[in-house]
Structure 1
């Protein structure tokens, strides 16, 4: 039901008007959103919240801004398709603050993705003693230049003039080139010395005996390709491993030849490990060891940059400090000549503390931040912005936050609104919904059963509304009357990863154990550092799912394989016909379902394939049926429908049914089994990983915030799933902030008392009832209020 906006927001200039939105599962949605207010969008996962807020409103704002740039500039920008909506009015510039991980480039740190490093470099260039040069002399991304460095130009009268001397241009450590680490390659993992090149000596992934990569070496002329490598001369072995870039001719083609070691360094070691294919990543982990650079001690900076100090510390020391301590150091500097700079730096560092990230350090690699930490780091860029009348779009900003920290996040969202901005928030937590000026509830359910606006109004009106969100808004969990008896213990001794302070703790087995504590207290360090990786432990973390844009739940879970075989058996043809990436692909779009047109300097365009109409398969393949459905119709089914389809009759496939049951158990019944993974939310991706990992045979399951992205109504279903895992004989360890999960636990280990060096200790061990009765920790205090109503 769509309600008219309140009178005080009825002026068309004060509204964002959406008419006829049909992106993804939205069903011709129309609504008015008040500007300069805080609007929260609620609804079950998959109800259409992100499709409306991110896929329609924010996407069109960004697309229209991009169109204001010259065509040449647009050629370097991402191609943005026009959202499926009839009309949008009243849009302002949209700034998206989502949970996408920050770029994990090895040179990217917390300090470089904010202004903190830049401000420190200016500060040290002005106040540092000894004085070594300009701000770039303190940058680990700018190489050093040794020698006199005098730049001269010839004047008209024949004389020369020295422009400047930059004997030390940048602050990069020459040994590690500003990376902070050096690598050592195990040569025995690169080749089998007993074999020749033609005999398959090279054991690096991608190097087959007759492949092009191997031919570059075997036909280079530098050695006999039929001679075992152990018989190579020193020169031959050097040419194989370390030879610098040279041109060689192979089969009449000039190609660039270089030794195996520099080739690996460029093609593999320069990439983000998380972006590598599994077999490549396994090779790198096996063949390469990384250690702190012995020359710069991991600081990335050369000796000159490390030698200059302000108030007793170097810039390397400053970046290694906990940000809350660095903020205190900055407040202690009294230097009138740098007063404005110092004030800006202090405000920035205080923003980290205010947003709950004071436990980080500026030298922390940005790629190691969680989705919630990355989102809050992005938020810092906007807190003190001079921009107003901007639309800020947040995707569950409370993710990863302890109940104690949610209040601070709420205050920051309100501050952004009070500066005259429109704040749109997709959220599930009642504490965050409570601060909304306006609420838009989507549903009534997920997927094809969602995509409608079921409520608009105030938070109090939502409480009285007969919607799923309204009915569950004031839900409170109750403490268990009885808890399970452990079947054993998992000992952790002397844990000291990151901020952990030599922790000893026994985790009970055969029960649901929940690890709690404020963000940055050391929960993940304890569990991932001391439990994950042990034999029999299955870990489901928040890392991104790897795969191409052709990947979908059917391919990711392995479900497509038995489905293809069943289609092949039923029709007496090859299984390859039922793969859109193989013989069955539509010849026009090569199985992609769309055609991509490169318009040169203009943004490229994706259009639906007019031959297969997005079904991805050749028309002849679609003539083959299983249970009366062709392969494209099967892949279009939601999990709930496929669960019934593969349960009985001609289409009965037990292997596929078992996978579908796990997908349904984790709350993904609405998801299309052929839906591209790129369209899934963060919470959906994590639950998909959980469903896959449930098939593992480990005895201990470690889950990292499994409630991420879950609606209030779905948390109960998740608790049921965790109970079934435990009752089946598994031990379940959950890192979690959600108080309903805490209340449901058999055992709680609370880490704290604070974050960073103020945390890292076990401050409580016991049952939830004992934690509530104790009330000596932040977690205990908040849980007591939660279960008390």
Structure 2
């Protein structure tokens, strides 16, 4: 086969070729009848500004159809237990292979999930201890903190006539710490945050979110027969108070329904405390933070394991000891373990641990909660299980795999991508970093703009052609930063003394205020520990990090930013009606679809169908509401406007609304002028979500802004706009602290603080603090070397 065929440069008219993934007429989200042919067994990088349609093409079209077709190969019974996937809107999707998505989604809201459980490393260690651990305490489950440690025994028998013959027996025990139930922490609930003792249940004594006096959650208590609904809680007898708060599960009949009644405290523990706090809705999370104090379990010292599991050891180390090690140290420990009887097991475990180190995550430990990993760390952790896979001709799909990586580590990621390709796989990468774009066999650039201004293919072909193409990506591909001729003078300092959070080694540092201060260092060097874990709690810091926006498909930029409130009031004033009419989630909602704009039909084991509501034609509002106008537009028209269009609309004529103008200005300033006001938050890219959060925080009162990798998801051309925004914040008297790997942001800083020199226990120290110019002049650190290579002088 010729090289031209392998790189996808053969004639597009060869219809019988199976070496190309063919997409014709794709119309998912903002894609405009996109037709493209992607070479198989090659590395293709998709570029373009945030919101140009990259993810819509790669994830929502190609990968989605691959997964949907794979699901259809299972029996109808199995499909009934799988999520239903809609067919992407496209005329033709041909020659697809099995798609494996390695994205940035956080790894699980389950607090029981750790790095070890998420990658099978824990499972391998448990088997190892069940074979070699002394004293021997049982099967692999005996070392699992997710299996209760109550001993169970039994037998499987065969009956022959009146005789029973024992077939097999078992004696099993789990490794869960009974005190904390395998969580590593115990909680203490502040009862004053659960109820108002001066009120009765009927008067709304319970102050827990969701416990409304007229709702079932309160009738559960009032109709149980144990409590007096009209009696203030402070007048309860000792027995009544126990039944209200702590009563053990008891069968009762409420409204002719048999249910199990239990006290308020165990109900809260099951409904709230069994979930990851970071995955909760904001008001629920605020309640948990207010009402619950978590402390390390004194029985297991936070290891989650029972005393028996901790007592069993190999070469003087328990499984808890090994899981607490940095993975690179654990890899060396396993390498020295010479045990021929378990050689295959050791080889598999060794490969898994070495993969962590190779991918730049050797500083993690297996007991690290999976939910605490950053998006980039989560993505690289997911990649581990595929590095040793014997599968070939698979399509691997990556979403900005360089996120969270120091320039020094990007080459490692590039090598891994190339290795997957060289095994005969198709590798599709959505990426902004020029270092990764540079290794592509094929580049597909989308644009020319974002949102409605994007969704078309502006270039496809080799990298050399991209530079000559004249597209936005091509023009900015070789951008380099320049050092500022002058830096700002600090107006004060924020002192950190003796910081020891995670791997910080008694760090003392004075963070300058009134300037743009950038914190740098390799992944795992201690940057987040320094700023997120060590800043004084009373410093008034406004944090804009990478945690996802929590919102349903009903949420959109207008609702999230509070923009809908002044818009509703403007419509209400112009038409002399109630503001609630102009909310699709309130009185103005279409009754047929309840304001969703679509009707979802569940077809059981078949894929569900989402259709536009015929009653409101997808507008979400009652017909009568759409008869009300503001300056010639109804509420649906306004929500269909882009930020830029709405910005003009609400500053002219009868529609002038200062409160709306203020919010729209902030959205425009963070580069979201193309976003539609009513666009569901679920359709926004990672970069769009982060900038939306930044826009909302710009209204906060506070003197110090902390941003965590704000260039995430930003196109090369958008970084300059971000720097302008950061300058504007500083020039208005704010102090801006930025954790960042992008050299353009480093070069633009007034002050750099570099942590390292390595990651984990090899990091946690300040190895440079000063101006970018001084570091470039004398590049003594990894950051300095890469910055010196990047800037133009």
Q: TM-score range by the shorter chain?
A: over 0.9
Matched, 1:123 2:128: yes
**Among 611, 617, 625, which residue is 2:615 paired with?**
611
Q: Give, in whole Å, the separation in 2 of the partners of 1:328 and 1:8.
A: 52
**Among 620, 625, 629, which residue is 1:625 paired with?**
629
Match of 1:179 in 2: 183
**Relative to 1, partners in 2 of residues 1:418 and 1:235: Cα closer, same or farther, differing over 3 Å?**
same
Deviations 1:143-181 (A, max 9, x none): 22337x253636537665555554442211222221221
Q: Give, in whole Å, the separation in 2 of the partners of 1:212 and 1:150.
A: 41
**Relative to 1, partners in 2 of residues 1:165 and 1:753: Cα closer, same or farther, differing over 3 Å?**
farther
Q: Shift of the alpha carbon at 1:254? A: 4.4
Match of 1:102 in 2: 107
**Among 3, 7, 12, which residue is 2:10 paired with?**
7
Match of 2:747 in 1: 743
197-206 vs 665-674, which moves further: 197-206
**Relative to 1, partners in 2 of residues 1:157 and 1:571: Cα closer, same or farther, differing over 3 Å?**
closer
Q: Give, in whole Å, the separation in 2 of the partners of 1:480 and 1:203.
A: 54
Matched, 1:70 2:63: no
Match of 1:141 in 2: 146
Give the alignment of 1:644-683 within 5 angstroms.
644-683=648-687
Q: Shift of the alpha carbon at 1:772? A: 1.4
Answer yes or no: is the 8 Å Cα contact 1:39–1:439 preserved in 2.
yes
Answer yes or no: is the 8 Å Cα contact 1:104–1:368 preserved in 2.
no
Answer yes or no: is the 8 Å Cα contact 2:102–2:398 preserved in 1.
yes
Answer yes or no: is the 8 Å Cα contact 1:514–1:748 preserved in 2.
yes
Deviations 1:718-757 (A, max 9, x none): 0000000000000000000000000000000001111111
Q: Give, in whole Å, the separation in 1 of the partners of 2:680 and 2:213.
A: 36
Match of 1:82 in 2: 87
Q: Shift of the alpha carbon at 1:516? A: 0.3
Q: Give, in whole Å, the separation in 1 of the partners of 2:233 and 2:632.
A: 59
Match of 1:261 in 2: 265
Answer yes or no: is the 8 Å Cα contact 1:593–1:609 preserved in 2.
yes
151-160 vs 530-539, which moves further: 151-160
**Among 490, 494, 518, which residue is 2:494 paired with?**
490
Q: Give, in whole Å, the separation in 2 of the partners of 1:319 and 1:391.
A: 33
Matched, 1:35 2:40: yes
Answer yes or no: is the 8 Å Cα contact 1:594–1:607 preserved in 2.
yes
Match of 2:325 in 1: 321
Answer yes or no: is the 8 Å Cα contact 2:442–2:460 preserved in 1.
yes
**Relative to 1, partners in 2 of residues 1:194 and 1:590: Cα closer, same or farther, differing over 3 Å?**
closer
Answer yes or no: is the 8 Å Cα contact 1:145–1:166 preserved in 2.
no
Q: Give, in whole Å, the separation in 1 of the partners of 2:176 and 2:698.
A: 46
Deviations 1:611-657 (A, max 9, x none): 22211112221121112111111111111111111111111111111
Q: Shift of the alpha carbon at 1:12? A: 1.5
Q: Give, in whole Å, the separation in 1 of the partners of 2:239 and 2:115.
A: 45
Match of 2:735 in 1: 731
Matched, 1:453 2:464: no
Matched, 1:591 2:595: yes
SS in 2 for 1:688: helix
Matched, 1:380 2:345: no
Q: Give, in whole Å, the separation in 2 of the partners of 1:514 and 1:641.
A: 35
Q: Give, in whole Å, the separation in 1 of the partners of 2:508 and 2:11.
A: 58
Q: Give, in whole Å, the separation in 1 of the partners of 2:208 and 2:463.
A: 59
Give the alignment of 1:355-504 within 5 angstroms.
355-504=359-508
Match of 1:601 in 2: 605
SS in 2 for 1:489: strand
Match of 1:243 in 2: 247
Q: Give, in whole Å, the separation in 2 of the partners of 1:172 and 1:460.
A: 57
Deviations 1:342-384 (A, max 9, x none): 1111111010011111011111111111111110011111111
What TM-score do the two structures reach when normalised by structure 2? 0.96
**Among 347, 350, 354, which residue is 1:350 paired with?**
354
SS in 2 for 1:33: strand
Q: Give, in whole Å, the separation in 2 of the partners of 1:723 and 1:337.
A: 63
Answer yes or no: is the 8 Å Cα contact 2:158–2:167 preserved in 1.
no
Q: Give, in whole Å, the separation in 1 of the partners of 2:431 and 2:279.
A: 29
Q: Give, in whole Å, the separation in 2 of the partners of 1:297 and 1:367.
A: 20
**Among 272, 276, 283, which residue is 1:272 paired with?**
276
Match of 1:50 in 2: 55
**Among 296, 300, 305, which residue is 2:304 paired with?**
300
Q: Give, in whole Å, the separation in 1 of the partners of 2:227 and 2:590.
A: 46
293-302 vs 542-551, which moves further: 293-302
Root mean square deviation of aligned Cα: 1.8
Q: Shift of the alpha carbon at 1:530? A: 2.0
Q: Give, in whole Å, the separation in 2 of the partners of 1:354 and 1:368.
A: 21
Q: Give, in whole Å, the separation in 2 of the partners of 1:428 and 1:188.
A: 50
SS in 2 for 1:779: helix
Answer yes or no: is the 8 Å Cα contact 1:39–1:438 preserved in 2.
yes
Answer yes or no: is the 8 Å Cα contact 1:196–1:228 preserved in 2.
yes
SS in 1 for 2:446: strand
Q: Give, in whole Å, the separation in 2 of the partners of 1:276 and 1:140.
A: 24
SS in 2 for 1:599: coil
SS in 1 for 2:418: helix
Q: Give, in whole Å, the separation in 1 of the partners of 2:208 and 2:28.
A: 44
Q: Give, in whole Å, the separation in 2 of the partners of 1:533 and 1:213.
A: 36
SS in 2 for 1:85: coil
Matched, 1:771 2:775: yes
Answer yes or no: is the 8 Å Cα contact 2:157–2:168 preserved in 1.
no
Answer yes or no: is the 8 Å Cα contact 1:532–1:539 preserved in 2.
no
Deviations 1:411-449 (A, max 9, x none): 000000000000000000000100000001111111111
SS in 1 for 2:18: helix
**Relative to 1, partners in 2 of residues 1:92 and 1:208: Cα closer, same or farther, differing over 3 Å?**
closer
SS in 1 for 2:117: helix
Runs of 4+ with >6 A deviation: 8-11
Q: Give, in whole Å, the separation in 2 of the partners of 1:685 and 1:532.
A: 27
Answer yes or no: is the 8 Å Cα contact 1:532–1:538 preserved in 2.
no
Match of 1:522 in 2: 526
732-741 vs 656-665, which moves further: 656-665
Answer yes or no: is the 8 Å Cα contact 1:639–1:673 preserved in 2.
yes
Match of 2:756 in 1: 752
102-111 vs 595-604, which moves further: 595-604
**Relative to 1, partners in 2 of residues 1:5 and 1:216: Cα closer, same or farther, differing over 3 Å?**
closer
Q: Shift of the alpha carbon at 1:250? A: 4.3
Deviations 1:488-514 (A, max 9, x none): 000011111111111110000000000
Answer yes or no: is the 8 Å Cα contact 1:75–1:603 preserved in 2.
no
SS in 2 for 1:543: coil
Q: Give, in whole Å, the separation in 1 of the partners of 2:592 and 2:214.
A: 31
8-17 vs 608-617, which moves further: 8-17
What TM-score do the two structures reach when normalised by structure 1? 0.97
SS in 2 for 1:741: helix
23-32 vs 185-194, which moves further: 185-194
Q: Shift of the alpha carbon at 1:394? A: 0.4
Deviations 1:24-77 (A, max 9, x none): 111111111100000000011111111111111111111111111112221221
Match of 2:512 in 1: 508
Q: Shift of the alpha carbon at 1:232? A: 2.4
Q: Give, in whole Å, the separation in 1 of the partners of 2:601 and 2:490.
A: 60
Please list every run of 5 or more consecutive structure 2 residues that lacks an aligned counterpart in the other structure. none
